[in-house]
Amino acid sequence: MFEFFDNLAANLAFIFERLTWLSAVDILLVTAVLFFVLLFLRGTQAIALIRGALMFVVLVGLLTSLEVLPGFSWLMRTALPALLFAIPVIFAPEIRHALERLGRAGASRPNEKTATQMQDTIADIVSAAIRLSDRQHGALIVLERRDKLEEFIRTGVRLDAHVTTELLLQVFYPNTPLHDGAVVIAGERLVAAACVMPLSASGVLAHTPDRQMGLRHRAALGISEVSDAVAIVVSEETGSISVVQNGKMIRRLDMERLENILRAFFKPASRLGLSSWFRRTPSAHNHKEEEERL
């Protein structure tokens, strides 16, 4: 036992003797790359695949190191290059999603004109959401930011109307022709209703004990995963109001919190200081809210 620890200490000392500042920078860069890759893939099915792939690689490494299994070792060494080429095919959706999020990282704020118009519209949206919640009328309201949502707008009925509380209440009144699907709002205009949103494939909802969340919540998560839009969901079962952005959900919002979050997302760029570029999105400010999200 003591011999084992002596050898370990000697190996560590040998490593640290050869360690230079360039080696430290090299290690930090590799760590940063792996960290950001895992950060981009967080909440997706790729995490489970990566876990399985790592376990497979470790198992194969152990088995191929055994000299008593020459046939198996040859087979694994031969098949390993093919497995490496298969990685882009297996992880294609997650890689695309990660690149989309990376491309939106430098443009997380809406343009100033849209933000100014949205500030005047938020009061009507919040009022409608609260009244829909009181009546337990389900609703999905998608607010466009920088990413254009034209491909999803085409799936619905174009209205191009000025946003008012009464219009939103009428659209989401049960059993009316437009109450299913989402409304898309750009600036002060309600562009379309009954729009079909992509459903989230991240599997986040499958791990929550709260089963009152259905297709509206999956659609809200889905549109937030493929764009920088902000989605507001009113649960038909409980009347609970949620806000979704970038695959993160803040739930059980009251009128004041809902309005503060929306105004923070659509704060005009002219009012932002340089330090705002280093701030996180509103969905990550409160750790308690992070505990509530799906």
| Top-tier CATH class for 112-292 | alpha beta
- pLDDT of 275 reads 40
- pLDDT of 169 reads 96
**Cβ atoms of residues 172 and 259 within 8 Å:** no
Summarised one tens digit per residue, pLDDT across range 181-217 is 999 999 889 999 999 999 886 666 655 555 556 889 9
Instruction: Give the pair of three-digit tokens for residue 236.
Output: 């038909």
* Confidence band of 267 (pLDDT split at 50, 70, 90): confident
Asked whether residue 65 carries a pLDDT value surpassing 60, the answer given is yes
Q: Which residue has the higher pLDDT, 10 or 171?
A: 171
Over residues 25-40, the mean pLDDT reads: 83
DSSP 8-state code for residue 250: E
- pLDDT of 157 reads 95
Residue with tokens 């704020």: 109
* Confidence band of 58 (pLDDT split at 50, 70, 90): confident
Asked whether residue 257 carries a pLDDT value surpassing 50, the answer given is yes
* Confidence band of 286 (pLDDT split at 50, 70, 90): very low
Asked whether residue 165 carries a pLDDT value surpassing 60, the answer given is yes
Asked whether residue 81 carries a pLDDT value surpassing 80, the answer given is no
* Confidence band of 78 (pLDDT split at 50, 70, 90): confident
Find which of 22-31, 59-68, 116-125, 239-248 is predicted with most confidence, using mean pLDDT.
239-248
Q: Which residue has the higher pLDDT, 21 or 28?
A: 28
Over residues 167-179, the mean pLDDT reads: 93
- pLDDT of 168 reads 96
Greatest C-alpha distance within the chain: 79
23 class by beta-carbon count within 10 Å (0-12 exposed, 13-18 middle, 19+ buried):
exposed
H-state helical runs in the chain: 2-17, 21-41, 46-64, 70-90, 92-104, 112-135, 150-153, 165-171, 215-226, 255-265, 287-292
* Confidence band of 279 (pLDDT split at 50, 70, 90): very low
Over residues 243-255, the mean pLDDT reads: 90
Lowest mean pLDDT across 55-64, 115-124, 180-189, 237-246:
55-64
Nearest to 169 by CA among 197, 188, 193: 193
* Domain residue spans of the chain: 2-104, 112-292
**Cβ atoms of residues 243 and 250 within 8 Å:** yes
Asked whether residue 143 carries a pLDDT value surpassing 70, the answer given is yes
